[in-house]
Structure 1
């Protein structure tokens, strides 16, 4: 990962921003494809195939048969735990997408960094000051605007999406914790391998042979996920994290666009207002953490 912004030429940061924007598009394509496939196949089957093809795609991309040592892990049990968080958030999200618009689901998922900030203190020993706590509280108010609990019965899709968001926060915390000792190649490989193995006992009994025209879409899920993670790593190798972080929110724009083009969905006012609050809080947290790091206090 790149170091300080002053050591990185502007052209590298621009390339990184471009890669980050494409990363958001890849993840939006993954969710759009999963939501579409869920009309024909069980979501857990879609999730399992996504991880199987992810592993195959990453193995080819990294040419693991020539250099398997790049995925050697020092902490296999923690890699497995991280993988469990990964396939949990993916499966729950794919299930939630059968009930929610793409924009609604991604708005809730974007609250995961807020939960990570809240949990980083007790779990990772990171100090969280009053300003960041305020941003976390405001961000979760944005989630309440989106989900609107109390105005009507809490929808099963909202519950699934909230659980997916919690699992994503666990995955992010484990990634942050393991990042100091594990290779990026190992992190991207095991996030797929654990899902491929762990979901098999649940997915295989429900397996439905897809119609021929659905097979390319099923295979595309792994390519979208694997390539998205690859671009994410590539972007962070050539540009600074503080420069790139805000641009992951471009995924929201892709989700709104694909939701309209593929499903004819138009986000309601509550979704747009709540999403703005969540994204605004997330951007403030990114700004605050970057400033604290420059001051040597984080």
Structure 2
């Protein structure tokens, strides 16, 4: 069968723009984690979480609010919206606590296991059961995570277990996002993601608040909200221009930024086990994405690789 014709120049340009937007979003998330790790050395992690939500919501609300977008609060599944938003809040909190003790690259390498958990959970929850090849990729990916963790061999700090728990929360968050996609608008889901976390965190702020020691700390507190809001905005713009199957592999470019920021800001270089495990996890994840693309293409049709 002959190969499919190349897409027109406008389509290629749009896809390239989408990829660049995706890479920029991933950079924002890496800067968010680096800022949170730095702040974690001088203030309570929950204060950083509160700054992340309150500042982000304040910024996002200038564009997404009930006045500029009438009906944005209207949801057919309010309980699922609330549950999903709480999952994201818990995952963020666990991630920020773990970052106080883990290197950036170690933390994100464990979080890369999320696609494997989603693929496993999609079976009993959504009825999307993984085939033998995908199950094999999932198994290999978890071996990579075990190499990073090295349980029982004096591997990572016990805080890595918090990242693992956060990974499970984020996997359920991803599943619930897919469930809501059938009933609610993306803007509605994004709005609830921020506002629920902000409402939960606001009354808790006095319990762990400490005044930032200097101007740099204030700036970093602002940056965690800015990078979070900007990253999600860029993510939306990217997915408006290209399918998720094309953009998802670029999530793994975050490991490059994490290693660079870990070395430049904190003077930390991941050990060989982290590099080996991360390589296995990334390779397995890319194969999983490839299998998703194969399943999405009707039999007998041409496919762009």
TM-score by length of 2: 0.91
CA distance in 2, matches of 1:73, 1:212: 42
Which residue of structure 2 aligns with residue 168 of structure 1? Answer: 170
- Within 5 Å, which residues of 2 pair with 1:1-298? 9-62=11-64, 64-152=66-154, 155-213=157-215, 214-295=217-298
Contact 1:17 1:244 in 2 (8 A): yes
CA distance in 2, matches of 1:76, 1:263: 42
Contact 2:120 2:129 in 1 (8 A): no
The superposition leaves residues 107-159 of structure 1 with CA deviations (integer Å, 9 ceiling, x where unpaired) of 00010111000110001111210100111111010000000001127732111
Contact 1:45 1:204 in 2 (8 A): no
Higher share in helix: 1
CA distance in 2, matches of 1:86, 1:168: 6
More displaced stretch, 152-161 vs 241-250:
152-161
Cα offset for 1:64? 4.9
The superposition leaves residues 74-129 of structure 1 with CA deviations (integer Å, 9 ceiling, x where unpaired) of 21111110111100110000000011000000000010111000110001111210
CA distance in 1, matches of 2:204, 2:168: 21
The superposition leaves residues 242-289 of structure 1 with CA deviations (integer Å, 9 ceiling, x where unpaired) of 211101111111111111110011111000000011111110110001
* Count of aligned pairs: 292
Greater C-alpha radius of gyration: 2
The superposition leaves residues 137-189 of structure 1 with CA deviations (integer Å, 9 ceiling, x where unpaired) of 11010000000001127732111111111111111111111112222212222
Q: Root-mean-square deviation (CA), in Å? A: 1.7
Q: Which runs of 5+ in 2 are unaligned?
A: 1-5, 300-305
Q: Secondary structure at the match of 1:289?
A: helix
Q: Which runs of 5+ in 1 are unaligned?
A: none
Cα offset for 1:227? 1.1
